[in-house]
Amino acid sequence: MIDGFLALYIFMLAAFTGYEIIARVPVILHTPLMSGSNFIHGIVLVGAMIALGHAENSFEIAIGFAGVLLGAGNAAGGYVVTERMLEMFKTSKPKPGSEGAK
């Protein structure tokens, strides 16, 4: 299992990564980016699958099933919505080098 301090290191580095990636984003992309990060935490689906996979009685199975349902909704919905938004950014034809708010 992941040792406690190793876990803390992972946490710290991942937090910095998230912070740094967003720090230089033009306002124009805030919505797709929020939606994109919304999709990425759809990874919760994986955890819900594991929880369902370890469920032993019907109560636990019901909770696990609901979790997988919700997680799948998060992942799929997040993807579709983000992709639709970003697709539109493609269709407007910006001059090279002039895209972005700054």
Residues 30 to 89 in contact with other proteins, rule: CB under 8 A:
30-57, 59-61, 63-89
How many residues touch other proteins under the rule CB under 8 A: the total is 90
CB 39 within 8 A of CB 82: yes
As given in the structure block, the two tokens for residue 102 are: 């700054």
**CA 55 – CA 5 distance, rounded (Å):** 29
CB of 36 to other proteins, least distance (A): 5
CB of 54 to other proteins, least distance (A): 5
Query: Does 3 contact other proteins by CB under 8 A?
Result: no
In angstroms, the Cα distances linking 82 to 17, 21, 23 are 21, 17, 20
CB of 26 to other proteins, least distance (A): 7
Query: Does 22 contact other proteins by CB under 8 A?
Result: yes
CB 10 within 8 A of CB 2: yes
Query: Does 5 contact other proteins by CB under 8 A?
Result: no
CB of 66 to other proteins, least distance (A): 5
CA 84 and chain centroid, separation: 16
